[in-house]
Structure 1
């Protein structure tokens, strides 16, 4: 069975172009605006969402936020802007990757395949429950949920994999480059600050819950490591 991809763009020409590139290998469905996209997400099992940012009424960022409230489906955002702040914002709200317009079809296909492949690999995380500090931190790989001090912390798929990776190797210090490879595969064009953004997202979500324990420690000049509950309280 072909993987299903939702294309969200207000321009018919772009939806048609993307569909031509992808329809040979994927089952493609289309949405012309954000509201239609949200309806698809609620009613259809999707493997990937290709989401244009600049749309009227409900832009791609708003759609991404709404999708993340209900689904963890990978999101590839399309943008004509190459500003770092736009990329960082997209990552902060839950996007998985960016593709800058104009793009070559080979790059589109390569990114789509890479995202789906990484998603498949991430679902292969060993089913287990990691618990630290008398259940101060619980990472449930069955449900892919994280509990800190008994409160659930909603993480995106990549945030979950990032935290799970650190917690599964509690004595290891990971460089940004290694974490970048684990989460996105080898991609020389990607900035290692992407990792910093995801770490920041996790910490912000913990702070919003008014929790005292942060399970990720910065190792200055190197990268990140797991922070045992006993070391943070």
Structure 2
């Protein structure tokens, strides 16, 4: 399978190095190179790609801010000269984190992680929202060897459990073999919000919020540091 890539870095030499590495691999093509993240954002709206190589420290708009601004996120390999940003990359579910200067051996390991994630994603069937005439919007998930109907109106939150997700509803809990990223793609964004690498919440089920988290009824839900701006914008209108 062929994968398309964008390289986003304010240092042209860094772009050249990554491009030269990609040219040594089969099945990868560079669809665009950007020193300006705003231009990259515009390009992504017109031509989505499979993989971003994204520098974290860029003037005007950091790589992490860039990633937060995307509604539909491709796979991302973060690059930076600063080791302390690894935690933020992990929280935003990046495929890998490359510390500059980047060796080809380390680059290959990152590519391997990306390919493993893509194979896993391709093996999963994305849940589809259904809404026949006279029926409330719903989806079916596989649980306990059955296809279980889940009404969107009844979902409180979704929690990641590594290779599974737990869907907590007004009726109870359902655990299914699925990734939270796939579930995020399936759920309508006007009704659901990713607030942490491990949690998606129903916006209309939020009963309280603070600087560090929010509540769904009596259940506290953490808000990840990299998701705070998006949460404040959605909930507080900031």
Please tell me the TM-score bracket, short chain as reference.
Answer: 0.5 to 0.7
After superposition, what is the alpha-carbon deviation per residue over 1:116-173, rounded to whole angstroms, capped at 9, x for unaligned? 33122223124667xxxxx9x96759xxx995734787x9xx889542699237xxxx
Q: 1:46 aligns with which of 37, 44, 49?
A: 49
2:154 counterpart residue number: 149
Query: Which structure features the higher share of helix residues?
Result: 1
- Higher relative CO (Cα under 8 Å, sequence separation at least 6) belongs to 1
Instruction: Rate the CA distance shift 1:98–1:139 in 2: closer, same or farther, 3 A.
Output: farther
SS for the counterpart of 1:167 is strand
User: 1:21, 1:126 → 2: CA distance?
Assistant: 32
2:198 counterpart residue number: 202
User: 1:80, 1:113 → 2: CA distance?
Assistant: 21
Instruction: Rate the CA distance shift 1:164–1:96 in 2: closer, same or farther, 3 A.
Output: farther
Question: How far apart are 1:80 and its partner, in Å?
Answer: 1.1
Q: TM-score if structure 2 supplies the norm length?
A: 0.58
1:188 counterpart residue number: none
1:168 counterpart residue number: 176
SS for the counterpart of 1:102 is coil
Could you tell me whether the CA contact under 8 Å between 1:148 and 1:213 is conserved in 2?
no
Instruction: Rate the CA distance shift 1:127–1:201 in 2: closer, same or farther, 3 A.
Output: closer
1:76 counterpart residue number: 77
Q: How many residues align?
A: 173
Aligned-CA RMSD value:
4.1
Structure of larger gyration radius: 2
After superposition, what is the alpha-carbon deviation per residue over 1:81-111, rounded to whole angstroms, capped at 9, x for unaligned? 112xx22223334433211112211211221
User: 1:206, 1:104 → 2: CA distance?
Assistant: 40
Could you tell me whether the CA contact under 8 Å between 2:96 and 2:113 is conserved in 1?
no
Instruction: Rate the CA distance shift 1:202–1:127 in 2: closer, same or farther, 3 A.
Output: closer
User: 1:80, 1:123 → 2: CA distance?
Assistant: 32
Could you tell me whether the CA contact under 8 Å between 2:157 and 2:201 is conserved in 1?
no
Question: How far apart are 1:52 and its partner, in Å?
Answer: 0.2
1:1-233 alignment runs, 5 A limit? 2-24=2-24, 25=26, 26-28=28-30, 29-67=32-70, 70-83=71-84, 86-126=85-125, 147=152, 149-150=154-155, 162-163=164-165, 167-168=175-176, 201-203=197-199, 205-206=200-201, 209-210=205-206, 211-212=216-217
Could you tell me whether the CA contact under 8 Å between 1:4 and 1:48 is conserved in 2?
yes
Consecutive unaligned residues in structure 1, runs of 5 or more: 130-134, 170-178, 184-197, 217-233
After superposition, what is the alpha-carbon deviation per residue over 1:175-194, rounded to whole angstroms, capped at 9, x for unaligned? xxxx9xxx9xxxxxxxxxxx
Could you tell me whether the CA contact under 8 Å between 1:74 and 1:96 is conserved in 2?
yes
Query: Which structure features the higher share of strand residues?
Result: 2
